[in-house]
Structure 1
Amino acid sequence: EAQRRRFLPAIARGEELWCQGYSEPEAGSDLAGLRTVAVRDGGGYRVSGQKIWTSLAGEADWCFVLARTDPGERRHRGLSFLLVPMDQPGRIEVRPIRQMSGTAEFNEVFFDGARAPHVVGGEGAGWRVAMGLLARERGVSTLVQQIGFAAELAAVIAAAVRGGAVRDPALREQLVRQWAELRVMRWNALRTLGAAGDPGAPSVAKLLWGGWHQRLGELAMRVRGAAAALGPVDWSAGAPYELDALQRLFLFTRADTLYGGSDEIQRNIIAERVLGLPRLER
């Protein structure tokens, strides 16, 4: 309750921003193999290790970090969900990762004895907390995400109308299909609001929006035709051209079926936890 009073109002007001310390260089989709460790230090912990693909770590005030607090346990046992303030000079280093879109919202984050004054759910309960959070990130939270998707789809449709591509029956059919699938995603997300505890619902949602967004990026290039490969010259920026919004959309969406749990991982979850098929050999 004390943590709720301390953190939730500032989150709701947008006064404190957060990033997520899950993935590591050797533990992406196989998150239980993480190596970041935390040791007790007074009333809190000291965190040491590396996280990667941490979105907006350079802007965040706090990071919630999944770390191993019991070295005697393996895999998902002995993990804790820690809250780490990012303003710790000399203890936390953020290194941006430049993407092929030219942006760098992803980062590597290095912790060197960083202070973590809070643990959520108690020591050793990190896996349960982390999985509960991921279920909402992949599932019902996509209702908010779909607002952005609708705006991007509208921009692609506007480009198709402006350039005349909308007169192509095949492209027009693809635009209509994207619109219809976005409506299906919304209805599915609304349906899962009442499906608490359904182990497959978050994975179904992730498969739906990941593939949809990737196809939207491809469609954004198709409606532009040959012009999609070019951009306005901007020598003052030290580069031959600057990417526009639709080009950035296309390049970024290459990652949609990988981050947040790859499509292969989501299909395994559905196969094992919903359909009862044999577990994948590790």
Structure 2
Amino acid sequence: MGAAAGGLREELRKLVGEHVPPDFLGAFTDDPADLETAQRFCRTLADRGLLCIAWPKEYGGEDASVWEQTVVREEMWAHHEPRGAQYMGVNWVGPTIMRHGTDEQKRTHLPPIARGEIIWCQGFSEPDAGSDLASLRTTARREGDGWRVTGQKVWTSYAGMAQWCFLLARTSTGERRQQGLTIFLVRMDDPAVEVRPIDCLMGPHHLNEVFFTDLKVTEADVLGTVDEGWNVVQEVLAFERVGIARYARCERLLMDAPRALGDAWDDLPEELHVRWARMLTHCRRARLLAYSVLHRQSEGKVRPGDAAGYRIAVTRLDQDSAEVLMDIIGQAPREGEDLRRFRAAVADHFRYAHASTVASGSIDVQRILLARHILGKA
């Protein structure tokens, strides 16, 4: 990526070292201080022009390249995402509003995202519409000069803390289920919106049910064209699936293992050393796949199959590296502060690796998308 990217990487690591506690394992834990750490760090990045570095200056960015934004993405994910939920607004909500929003929507939503002040959630999946998203049942019906939204979403990350929701609802029926879907930008503090947390192994805030009961929205809340939201969703999912640099965390944890174990590293079985080295090569493969998709995105040529191929590789990497790391710490000594922190980080990674099987579309759905792409069906 060049010298500029190297300097940016060093700057980001320095900021993390200065502003993020060494025990930080993400914003969404049982300790409210972790979320506040993330919110403060977002403002720190924003003050330095680093939060939305690749956004146009007119929207609060620095007109940096997609590769500089990739450096930010990699360093944040490698350090347990100290931006908290802001990656959602930065990676795809904001850019989608830039491409499809009205001037008023851009004025309303982009500055708060660029300042790190607003958290978004995604209202896509439903109890009977997860991987088959087009079968969703949440409806928005015309009423006067606006719409009434009724339905349920599920697995909605950050819904309990978000101020806004990027909501997909059915506004009409057509020959294909993908027709007649519309995107609405809705406030989460409306009394017609109810959030119910779902307990899960990843901790609070990650998963929620969200109920919309006669939620009143207006034409000003519609993003893009009514009934044509599916095209925007396909674009969103491609950006979302590539926008989280999971390989960076895998690589950092793998590289941390010898340091954390110290002399005990040499005592590990040779077979475990071989598996560790293999995982490092898989990290590099996933990184290169991500870079190829990002290059296509920057040229406006990204296809669903491109993102699906990357998603399959990085999901397998998540799970396979977690197994290797768990085996490593299973044979490590128990004492030492470095080992304690490393053990906690590996356990956190192991939990996320299991969730990554279905997050942003299950791995089986990604295989179907990739197969369609290869066969020329998508």
Q: Where on the TM-score scale, by shorter chain, does this alignment land: which range?
A: 0.7 to 0.9
Distance change (3 Å), C-alpha of 1:40 and 1:152: farther
2:326 to 216, 221, 226: 221
* Cα displacement (A) at 1:129: 0.8
- Once residues 249 and 21 of structure 1 are traced to their aligned partners in structure 2, the CA distance between those partners, rounded to angstroms, is 25
Q: 8 Å contact 1:29–1:265 — kept in the other structure? A: yes
* Cα displacement (A) at 1:65: 0.9
- Equivalent positions of 1:91-170 (< 5 A) are 91-117=192-218, 118-139=221-242, 141-143=243-245, 145-161=246-262, 163-164=264-265, 167-170=268-271
- Once residues 45 and 163 of structure 1 are traced to their aligned partners in structure 2, the CA distance between those partners, rounded to angstroms, is 63
* Cα displacement (A) at 1:59: 1.0
- Once residues 326 and 369 of structure 2 are traced to their aligned partners in structure 1, the CA distance between those partners, rounded to angstroms, is 33
- Once residues 22 and 157 of structure 1 are traced to their aligned partners in structure 2, the CA distance between those partners, rounded to angstroms, is 41
Q: Which has the higher strand share?
A: 1
- Once residues 193 and 258 of structure 2 are traced to their aligned partners in structure 1, the CA distance between those partners, rounded to angstroms, is 43
The one-character-per-residue Cα deviations of 1:3-51 (angstroms, maximum 9, x if unpaired) are 2232122212211111111110001100011000012345442211111
Q: 8 Å contact 2:250–2:321 — kept in the other structure? A: no
The one-character-per-residue Cα deviations of 1:66-108 (angstroms, maximum 9, x if unpaired) are 100114665111110111110113x111111111345451111
* Cα displacement (A) at 1:246: 2.4
Q: 8 Å contact 2:234–2:304 — kept in the other structure? A: no
* Cα displacement (A) at 1:166: 6.4
Paired AA for residue 269 in structure 1 = L
Q: How many residues align?
A: 261
TM-score in terms of structure 1 length = 0.82
SS, match of residue 23 in structure 1: coil
Q: 8 Å contact 1:120–1:129 — kept in the other structure? A: no
2:273 to 168, 172, 191: 172
SS, match of residue 250 in structure 1: helix
Question: Which range moves more in the overlay, 7-16 or 75-84?
Answer: 7-16
Paired AA for residue 142 in structure 1 = I
Distance change (3 Å), C-alpha of 1:5 and 1:148: farther
Q: 8 Å contact 1:142–1:189 — kept in the other structure? A: no
Question: What is the match of residue 350 of structure 2?
Answer: 250
Distance change (3 Å), C-alpha of 1:146 and 1:206: same
Q: Does 1:192 align with 2:297?
A: no
* Cα displacement (A) at 1:199: 3.5
- Once residues 163 and 85 of structure 1 are traced to their aligned partners in structure 2, the CA distance between those partners, rounded to angstroms, is 53
SS, match of residue 84 in structure 1: strand
RMSD of aligned Cα (Å): 2.6
- Once residues 252 and 222 of structure 2 are traced to their aligned partners in structure 1, the CA distance between those partners, rounded to angstroms, is 38
* Cα displacement (A) at 1:164: 3.5
Distance change (3 Å), C-alpha of 1:149 and 1:61: farther
Paired AA for residue 367 in structure 2 = R
Q: 8 Å contact 1:95–1:108 — kept in the other structure? A: yes
Q: Does 1:261 align with 2:353?
A: no
Question: What is the match of residue 240 of structure 1?
Answer: none
SS, match of residue 327 in structure 2: helix
* Cα displacement (A) at 1:253: 1.4
Paired AA for residue 116 in structure 2 = G
Q: 8 Å contact 2:165–2:185 — kept in the other structure? A: yes
Distance change (3 Å), C-alpha of 1:181 and 1:116: farther
Distance change (3 Å), C-alpha of 1:76 and 1:52: same
SS, match of residue 304 in structure 2: coil
Question: What is the match of residue 27 of structure 1?
Answer: 129
Question: What is the match of residue 311 of structure 2?
Answer: 206
* Cα displacement (A) at 1:197: 3.4
- Once residues 254 and 185 of structure 1 are traced to their aligned partners in structure 2, the CA distance between those partners, rounded to angstroms, is 18
- Once residues 345 and 231 of structure 2 are traced to their aligned partners in structure 1, the CA distance between those partners, rounded to angstroms, is 38
- Once residues 207 and 259 of structure 2 are traced to their aligned partners in structure 1, the CA distance between those partners, rounded to angstroms, is 29
TM-score in terms of structure 2 length = 0.63
The one-character-per-residue Cα deviations of 1:210-265 (angstroms, maximum 9, x if unpaired) are 1111122222211121789xxxxxxxxxxxxxx93322321331121222111111
Paired AA for residue 4 in structure 1 = K
Q: Which has the higher helix share?
A: 2
- Once residues 25 and 158 of structure 1 are traced to their aligned partners in structure 2, the CA distance between those partners, rounded to angstroms, is 44
